[in-house]
Amino acid sequence: MADRTKRIRRSDLLVFATQRNEARRLPYFLEHYRRMGVGHFLIVDNDSTDGGDRFLAAQPDVSLWRSTASYRRARFGMDWMNALLTRYGHGHWCLTVDPDELFVFPFCDTRPLRALTDWLDASRIRSFSAMLLDMYPKGPLDACRYQPGQNPMEIACWFDAGNYAMTRNSALGNLWIRGGPRARSFFADVPEQAPALNKIPLVRWHRRFAYVSSTHMLLPRGLNAVYDEWGGEKASGILLHTKLLDGFAARAEEEVRRGEHYGAAREYRAYAREAARNPDFWCPHSERFLNWRQLEVLGLMSKGNWA
């Protein structure tokens, strides 16, 4: 719909995303990543009906493609992402995120993203982990209405600080991380079905790389070695996940109808069932979001030896 890829410079940091009917979230999404120094956005619009596609097409730093094909058959958008990454990502630091994921990394309030990628280059690190951290408001989701352009953290500023469980995936070497508010509210009886929170969104892309399942893991396997196994800590970040805002229930119902999501939209079925009750994820031990340093102290992310 809008191919501005000619404008990509060799040293540009790139964001790759798939979006569908996220018009409300897009303005802040773009602002968040522009502020950290992203040079260009490469976005696939999956048949939006809310005008988000037109909004994106009008942005000077966005290249937009439109697909009316099945999200499910495109392996939940990953085929589109891999194709774009292969074509445009080679040699760049690429951040592959959803419109409801806001990347946070060590020192992100005082250093731009390029400071991180320069450090990763110097350290010969090719991939960078950022766990998905579900953010939620206090009180029922529909109680507060999110406005376009607003920082979602003004509403969904609460999170679970310490209820995550992880196991090693011996096949691809990545960790599976599960837990957080969705696990305890929706999947307590079937924790193995709770959504995976491990993500490796930032990669110095090479055309022979490929994401395997969402951005949970990649090939070749070595890219999944984002964690230290000998007691130390590697540097890592967080993806603030702003899915849990007003409209969540309606969205879940729609996704169940479309059946385009992973595992026959099993996850969305659970959401739709529970979300109809307009749930409150907040508990007296929820933590209020301040900044990356707080997340670091809590052990959700790490500076590693970056100082």
Of the candidates 58, 190, 264, 276, which one interacts with another protein according to CB under 8 A? 190
Of 110, 170, 171, 263, the one binding another protein (CB under 8 A) is 110
CB nearer another protein, residue 208 or residue 229: 229
For the record, the structure tokens of 194 come out as 């709770």
Residue 144: count other Cβ atoms within 10 Å of its Cβ: 15
> Is residue 11 a contact residue for another protein (CB under 8 A)?
no
DSSP letter string, 60-128: TTEEEEE--S-TTTTTTTHHHHHHHIIIIITTSEEEE--TTEEEE-TTTTTS-HHHHHHHHHHTT--EE
User: Which position among 11, 147, 167, 291 is part of the footprint of another protein (CB under 8 A)?
Assistant: 167
Q: Which range binds another protein by CB under 8 A, 21-29, 103-111, 210-218, 241-249?
A: 103-111
Question: Closest by alpha carbon to 204, among 8, 11, 18?
Answer: 11
- CB 244 within 8 Å of CB 279: no
Strands 164-168 and 175-179: antiparallel
| Least Cβ distance, residue 22 to another protein (angstroms) | 25
Residue 111 CB, nearest distance to another protein (Å)? 5
Tell me if 162 contacts another protein by CB under 8 A. yes
Q: CA of 193: how far to CAs of 68, 132, 208, 280, in Å?
A: 29, 16, 31, 21
Which residue from 156, 202, 226, 265 is in contact with another protein, where contact means CB under 8 A? 226
Q: How far is the CB of 48 from another protein (least distance, A)?
A: 31
Binding site for another protein (CB under 8 A): 107, 110-112, 114-115, 118-119, 122-123, 129-131, 160-168, 175, 177-179, 181, 183-184, 188-192, 198, 226-236, 283-287, 299-307
